[in-house]
Amino acid sequence: MKAVQVVAYHQNLQLTDIDEPTVQGPLDVIVKVGAAGVCRTDLHVIEGQWEEKSGVQLPYTIGHENAGWVHAIGDAVTNVKIGDKVILHPLMTCGLCRACRLGDDVHCENNQFPGINTNGGYAEYLRTSARSCVKLDDSLEPADVAALADAGLTAQHACAKAARVLRPGETCVIIGAGGLGHIGIQCMKAMSSATLVVVDRNPEALALAKEVGADHTVPADGTHIDAVLRLTGGSGAEAVLDFVGEGGATNEGIAMLRNAGNYYVIGYGENIDVPTIDIISTEINFIGNLVGSFTDLRDLMVPAAQGKVKLHTAQYKLADFQQAIDDLTAGKVRGRAILIP
């Protein structure tokens, strides 16, 4: 089969022929990939940022946002059958460790992560687990939702945390209306009655933010901190969801946060540098967000089927993977880039 692989770090990916994956265990599921999302984490993989963490042996197939059709199953699989449309939780989890027993399977102690530390979905077929498969509603197709497997799941996970503590009339600032942010806006709109203020430097991203539910949009032009403070009566926002996490976004986001506010770190790339006395005196909280659980993904498929969360995508053929990577790197993708095998 055709697959796009990392052959060396700091080099372009390569399209090559490799063997199709086969069922190796009773809970294995082989999925015919219908769509694979192109994520900024894929860029970080190519840059070698995940080399030490993943310990993966090269070459291997990249791609961790996947959806498609069940092609083959192990003899103990009962939750899906051949031909079912599925979106895949990005992790293959054991179901037996403490984290899995608590429903926090994103921290499974025995996980495999297709696209990060084992073969992923930039390919025609992918091996995963029955525990990773969420059946799709008849109204949804793999290409419609593939990037929700990670980008959408990450947004859902963070937004669900924020929505649990935000009260009507309070303000939530969303930094970044790109691939993750435009999903986060929709998730917050579906789960919370807080006022949504979206900050981005790209006018097209702000237009998309307004289209998908932002109450206010603020261009990141050097005056945006003051603009957010004006919108919040000088106090700042109760919650800031930072989908950028680099280029100075964290310092700016913290300046938009009110006392006792919550800062949700979703995007990454820079350090947070805050004097501890400032954290104590203002009682602000920093909350990390790592993808999300299987339950988060299943929950996300409900508003997706209802049409309340929609991906804005740019679709590319698998053979055009380099163009997708280049467009994402250059900031030309509004929403998410999707590879279609």
Edge-to-edge, what's the strand order for the sheet holding 60-61? 14-17, 2-6, 60-61
Last residue of a domain, one of 288, 303, 331: 288
**What total of structural domains would you count in the chain?**
2
CA–CA distances in Å: residue 35 to residues 97, 141, 147, 153: 31, 9, 8, 16
Q: b or e along 205-243 (b: 16 or more beta carbons within 10 Å of the residue's beta carbon)?
A: bbebbeebbbbbbbebeeebbebbbebbeeebbbbbbbb
Q: Looking at the structure, tell me whether residues 173 and 229 fall in a common domain.
A: yes
Instruction: Verify that 165 and 274 share a domain, yes or no.
Output: yes
User: Domain span at residue 138?
Assistant: 2-150+291-340
- My answer on whether 15 and 128 are in the same domain is yes
Same-domain check for residues 240 and 295 = no
Which among 288, 308, 326 is the end of a domain? 288
Identify whether residues 159 and 39 lie together within a single domain: no
144 and 168 share one domain:
no
pLDDT at position 53: 83
- Over the chain (341 residues), the average pLDDT of each successive run of 10 is 96 97 97 96 91 91 97 98 98 96 94 95 98 96 94 95 96 94 95 97 94 97 97 97 95 97 94 95 96 94 94 94 95 89 94
- Please tell me whether residues 215 and 97 are part of one structural domain: no
pTM assigned to the model: 0.89
Is residue 120 domain-shared with residue 218, that is, in the same domain?
Answer: no
Question: What was the pLDDT predicted at 338?
Answer: 96
Among 147, 127, 152, smallest CA distance to 38 is for: 147
DSSP of 261-307, one letter per residue?
EEEEE-S-SS-----HHHHHHHT-EEEE--S--HHHHHHHHHHHHTT
205 and 328 assigned to the same domain: no
Specify whether 192 is located in the same domain as 329. no
pLDDT the model gives residue 117:
94
Q: What is the CATH number of the domain that holds 173?
A: 3.40.50.720
Residues in the chain: 341
For residues 71 and 14, membership in a common domain is answered with: yes
> Smallest Cα–Cα separation from 60: which of 7, 123, 122?
7
What pLDDT shows up at residue 333? 87
